[in-house]
Structure 1
Amino acid sequence: MLDQSLFTLLHVLVFVYWLGGDLGAFYTSRFLTQPDVSADRRMMAAKIVGDVDMAPRTALILTLPTGLALAQSKGWLDLGWIPVSLIAIASLAWLVLAWVLHVRHGGAPQALKTLDLAIRWLLIAGLVVWAGAGLTGSISLPLFLALKMLLLAGCIALGLFIRIVLRPLGPALMGLSGPEASAAEASLANTLNRARPLVMGIWVLLVSAAFIGLWTPTTF
């Protein structure tokens, strides 16, 4: 029972830090578009947003290993502890990669960025296939776990789309103190306005996953 309590706590903490970190980053991003805030202060706000955002990024990576460990300890899955442990080790390696990319920002090798991107797309595909096999009865998988896998895949996919939408953010921030400040201001506001619905979409998926985890329907 101690292992179940520990894994439950870890999985709940992942949810708390993911949603809480996202809310913190979302709130701080408002200062990026306030006209009465200087360019220097907006750059500082952008750095704070990036740092706070590492909480949900970390939580995303830890969601699968903590969830699998909890499911294994509860008897919802029968993967065996060796595969679960290997997935946990791989997830920790991915977490190190994510933090290296964050700390080094633009100075990180392109190969590491490509590797991180490939991991995310492979994970999306793997989760969808795994969940699909469970929903079609090809493998034994509780309904709630299949649904949570699909929701996690959706969160990762939305995160990738947010990255694409936020690409103009850096140039816009740099342009706030230049001769084209008004154009940079408009680009900044437009970029954040496009990203915010995607962030809220992640919140909806997260809360849905939490509800399904508490409901835990095992069959249709």
Structure 2
Amino acid sequence: MGIVELSVLKWAHIIAMVYWLGGEWGVFQISFNVVNRKLSMDERKRHLETAYRIDILARTGILLLFPLGFHMGNIWGIQPYGGWALVAVWSVFALWLALCWTAFFFRETDRGVMLTKIDEKLRYIFIPVIAICAISSLSGNGPFIAVEGMRWFSVKILLFSVLLCIGLYLRFVMRQWTTIFRQLAEKQDDALEAELENSIRISRYLAYLYWIIIAGVGFLGATKPF
């Protein structure tokens, strides 16, 4: 049963990774049209809507990766927390995922912006917690087992925390898109256009780093080198 369970979890982990990486690439490409002043505002809004519809799949993949990895880590014996701990982790992330999708459905409203901010605040807690756990484990103090041949798991979680930091900034940028476009719908403003272009310009450089680290995380999971 453990082998079948692990195989299903691996499959789900791969799917989540694909949606994450593919979704981020799609949003990256669409951003060129979002900031293109030569396009009409209606057309730019349509591109922004497409970006949000693609991005929700990437967000879903990101939120699924940790409970999937945490679950597999227990089967591999790298992290000792099974049973009710797994139930708790899956329950928390199911609620978090529900929050994320609710924010998506209300994305054009003040409620959507508020829910997105709550999503961001949860990351302010989650990111340092997993980073501290990873560093502590690599130092030999747990909570994960990081002996020879098992250190890759803690390193992967540490890199995942870095990716979440980058992702948090990119989420902030997308929320900023919504706010700026609502203002631009009322009147044309060159200062707002410049702010929009500058924020996306910075985000593109971070996106390149994002994909490099994602590739590294995938490599660690596939090869388990140390």
Q: TM-score, normalised by structure 2?
A: 0.86
1:170 corresponds to = 178
Q: What is the alpha-carbon distance in structure 1 between the residues aligned to residue 63 and residue 181 of structure 2?
A: 28
1:216 corresponds to = 224
Contact 1:166–1:191 (8 Å) recurs in 2: no
Which one of the candidate residues 94, 97, 102 is aligned to 2:99? 97
Contact 1:72–1:81 (8 Å) recurs in 2: no
Of residues 91-100 and 190-199 in structure 1, the stretch that sits farther from structure 2 once superposed is 190-199
Contact 1:169–1:191 (8 Å) recurs in 2: no
> Structure 1 177/116 Cα, relative in aligned 2: closer, same or farther at 3 Å?
closer
Contact 1:176–1:182 (8 Å) recurs in 2: no
1:134 corresponds to = 137
Cα deviation, residue 172, structure 1: 4.0
1:5 corresponds to = 7
The runs of 5 or more residues in structure 2 that have no matched partner are none
One-letter amino acid matched to 1:54: I
Q: What is the alpha-carbon distance in structure 2 between the residues aligned to residue 109 and residue 72 of structure 1?
A: 36
Q: CA RMSD in A?
A: 2.2
> Structure 1 83/51 Cα, relative in aligned 2: closer, same or farther at 3 Å?
same
Contact 2:130–2:157 (8 Å) recurs in 1: yes
Q: What is the alpha-carbon distance in structure 1 between the residues aligned to residue 177 and residue 52 of structure 2?
A: 12
1:116 corresponds to = 119
The runs of 5 or more residues in structure 1 that have no matched partner are none
Cα deviation, residue 113, structure 1: 4.5
Cα deviation, residue 97, structure 1: 0.7
> Structure 1 76/168 Cα, relative in aligned 2: closer, same or farther at 3 Å?
closer
> Structure 1 175/118 Cα, relative in aligned 2: closer, same or farther at 3 Å?
closer
1:203 corresponds to = 211
- Paired residues, what number? 218
One-letter amino acid matched to 2:85: P
2:154 corresponds to = 146
1:157 corresponds to = 165
Contact 2:9–2:72 (8 Å) recurs in 1: yes
What's the secondary structure of 2:215's corresponding residue?
A: helix
One-letter amino acid matched to 1:28: I
Contact 2:106–2:112 (8 Å) recurs in 1: no
